[in-house]
Chains A and B, each alone.
Chain A
Amino acid sequence: MSVVGGVDVDRVLLKHGAGGRAMRRLISETFLAAFATDPPERAGLLGVSAMDDGGAVRLGDRWLVMTTDSHVIQPAFFPGGDIGRLAIAGTVNDLAMMGATEILGLTCGVVIEEGFPRADLERIAASMRAACAEASATVIAGDTKVMGVREVDGIVINTSGVGLTRRLIRDCGLRAGDRIIVTGTIGDHGMAVMASRHGLQLDSDLRSDVAPLAALIRGAIEASPDGITAMKDPTRGGVAGALHEMASKSGVGIEIVDAALPVRPAVRGVSELVGVDPLFAANEGKAVIGVRRESADAVLRALRAHPLGRDAAIVGACVADHSGTVILDTGFGRRLVAEPDGDLLPRIC
């Protein structure tokens, strides 16, 4: 085994799927080399090299946004959701983060382990149908495979989606002075899954936030069509991971205020118990949004008018200094927020 910078470079490790530095490196060294494209301004195409939530192709005066996501989670049914709802929300949210809140259609590929209970499969399908209805989306194509016992762990669901937008929103568009909004309480999904996996019997409001955000984001964009400068869903790596990626791609620093971060008491409690900062815990129904200073109030109002955005808050701002870093004002002092690297908890989405 050869080790470079703390990573076994000969083999793929769980940390390569954890949404941090190791994962970005794996992707850029393998897939980016294979599928590099011209800059979108020249090619009319946003490809994998952007490493954004999805890719996009220009169609006349609009962009056709495409994305795909494979979902593996243990347990498949968790407080607040299940793998079916997660699979729909994951893809709908990736499209929405690029501005494509009008979903043209989804596909669904399922790989099932022999012996998987039919009743569970039906529950998952019903949950997918309900999530689709919330996002005004439909699965229009699919594929089903069954594998032998232990050849796959329970069930893996891949969803792809296409959507349309007039204005493509990227994760690299932040500018100094922009405000940072999170659309609600942070860390709910990660902490709920962690608690359920560890068998912690805790507060009843510790539930995953998994939800499709197309309608919430549509409202925010309509409130200020040009005011949103960048958007990202803080899944693996949590809000800290999303902020780091946005800051480094945009070439700005981001300063956030601890006291402004919405965190449920139950999440705060589990966080202290297991020693995981809510900033690093995964979310499946939240967005981190960069907004021009003058549009911040209008966008915040629109978000709060939607049930999924009731707890939305302005949590920080972008600065020209210390580009690519995230600074936390703790109320007592200031410190850097580390870039997530490695798996807090593998197989969570």
Chain B
Amino acid sequence: MPLEFRDPARAAALRDALARATARVGRERVSLMHVCGSHEQAIAKFGLRAAFPPALDVIMGPGCPVCVTDQPEIDEAVALAAQGVRIATYGDMVRVPGTAGSLADAQARGARIDVVYSVAQAVEIARATTEPFVFFATGFETTAVATAAVLIGGVPPNFSVLSAHKYIPPVMEIVAEMPGTRVEGFLAAGHAATITGSATFEPFVERHALPVVVAGFEPLDILAALVKLVELVGRGEAAVVNMFPRCVTREGNVNAQRQLWTVFEPIGGRWRGIAHVPNGNLRLRDAWAAVDARRRFTIDAASLWRQAPSSLVRQCICGHIMAGIASPADCALFGAACVPDSPVGACMVSSEGTCRIWHEYGGVPDLRGAACPS
């Protein structure tokens, strides 16, 4: 029998179970957080928030890699491009505004920017030329593994990496401790856990006494994981539960982890709009200095900082949205001055950004209580 991922009858049973589990918690509000753009996409696309019990809040945390890339990191890429270095990066990164414009703006002024779908594609382009070539590497540990594998495999001499890779587990600690969030449990992203293994969350659970449930991306995956998470909250049980066992193991992909930590080491760094996150960034180890753009080039990003950000940018609340203490509905710019065609903040640029996702699915995702036609 084929696996049936989109069975509304099973969804209805899970919705009832979620309502019962939430009622058993017996509090006015239960706040859970997921940290993944793909989870938010599925929740929005399938209208799941309307199916959640009124007392349950499912908040999107800092789960969009494009969005959490800090402005000074964008500035570094823009400055390198302005210095005549050819830059390759993922599509959404080209449009994210830095302090003084985006890579797209740099391109309009004559810089060479290549949009790639993978780091391997960037290496191919670099091989075909002798000009200095930098891959602006963004994304969480899942994407960082690909960068590491390609570096280990060998790259042409003109190729180097500007790492803005980020590591999710440390930021969960920050968000869990933020006064405004009141998060009682985390839904962890199944694809990242495929690599890191569910065990990666065990120290977090121990330190913060909060449950973590690893979830897949089909609507039934998400509903089932939420039922489990609310049950854990209700019992006051801090544990890691893997609800995505068809892909995720406790140990994860050990080979990929070895490659990741061979090339990268965790280092503290800022996540855009959120905070300085200890161990939240991934830096190339000293052994890889030869392919580290920060050590190969003198990057004069500070030259860009003479230009103040526009007044619109100062009104953007991306940081609060990613920290889970505000929603796009709280932003005066959302859907008016800030739309996908002319985004003010990164959350409206990326297809994994909360604002972009909400905009795509009608802007107001929560239809709990709206009347049904007979």
Contact = CB atoms under 8 A, between A and B. Distances in A.
A249 to B, nearest CB: 19
B13 to A, nearest CB: 12
Nearest to A240: B362
Given A6-B339, A7-B341, A333 B370 contact: no
Query: Interface range on chain B: under 10, 10 to 19, 20 to 34, or 35 or more?
Result: 20 to 34
Contacts of B362: 325, 335-338
Contacts of A336: 361-365, 367
A330 B12 CA distance: 12
B46 A338 contact: no
Contacts of A318: 373
B220 to A, nearest CB: 8
Given A332-B219, A336-B362, A321 B371 contact: yes
A334 interface: yes
Nearest to B343: A6
Contact of A342 (B49, B338, B341, B364): B341
B6 A327 contact: no
A3 B374 CA distance: 44
A60 interface: no
A312 B248 CA distance: 43
B6 A331 contact: yes
Contact of B361 (A3, A316, A338): A338
Given A330-B46, A335-B44, A338-B360, A5 B8 contact: no
A334 B367 CA distance: 7
Interface in A31-68: none
A327 B367 contact: yes
Contact of A332 (B47, B339, B367, B372): B47
B96 interface: no
Contacts of B361: 335-338
A15 interface: yes
Nearest to A5: B336
Interface in A306-341: 316-319, 321-322, 325, 327-338, 341
Contact of B370 (A6, A316, A321, A331): A321
Nearest to B14: A332
A166 B75 CA distance: 65
A330 B45 contact: yes
B370 A322 contact: yes
Contacts of A3: 342
Given A5-B336, A7-B341, A15-B341, A332 B373 contact: no
Interface string B323-365: 0000000000000111111100000000000000001111111
Nearest to B351: A275
A255 interface: yes
B50 interface: yes
Contacts of A329: 47, 372
A316 B373 CA distance: 9
Q: Pick the most buried of A318, A335, A341: most chain B CB atoms within 10 A of its CB.
A: A335
Given A5-B336, A342-B341, A334 B370 contact: yes
Nearest to B51: A333
A331 B360 CA distance: 19
Contacts of B100: none
B148 interface: no
A259 interface: yes
Contacts of B372: 255, 319, 329
B359 A332 contact: no
Nearest to B52: A333
Contacts of B360: 338
B124 to A, nearest CB: 21
A324 to B, nearest CB: 12
A255 B47 CA distance: 13
Q: Pick the most buried of A255, A259, A327: most chain B CB atoms within 10 A of its CB.
A: A327
B185 to A, nearest CB: 20
A266 to B, nearest CB: 18
Contacts of B49: 333, 335
Q: Pick the most buried of B11, B360, B373: most chain A CB atoms within 10 A of its CB.
A: B373
A333 B341 contact: no
Contacts of A330: 45-47, 219
B111 interface: no
Contacts of A316: 373
B144 interface: no
Contacts of B365: 335-336
Contacts of A332: 6, 8, 11, 46-48, 51, 219, 223
Interface in B235-259: none
A286 to B, nearest CB: 22
Given A6-B339, A15-B341, A321-B370, 4 more contacts: A329-B372, A334-B50, A335-B47, A336-B362
11 contacts: A327-B370, A330-B219, A333-B46, A333-B219, A334-B47, A335-B46, A335-B367, A336-B363, A336-B365, A337-B362, A341-B339
| Shortest 10 CB-CB contacts between residues of A and residues of B | A336-B362, A335-B47, A333-B47, A333-B51, A331-B8, A6-B339, A317-B373, A334-B50, A6-B342, A332-B46
Interface of B: 6, 8, 11, 44-52, 219, 223, 336-342, 359-365, 367, 370-374
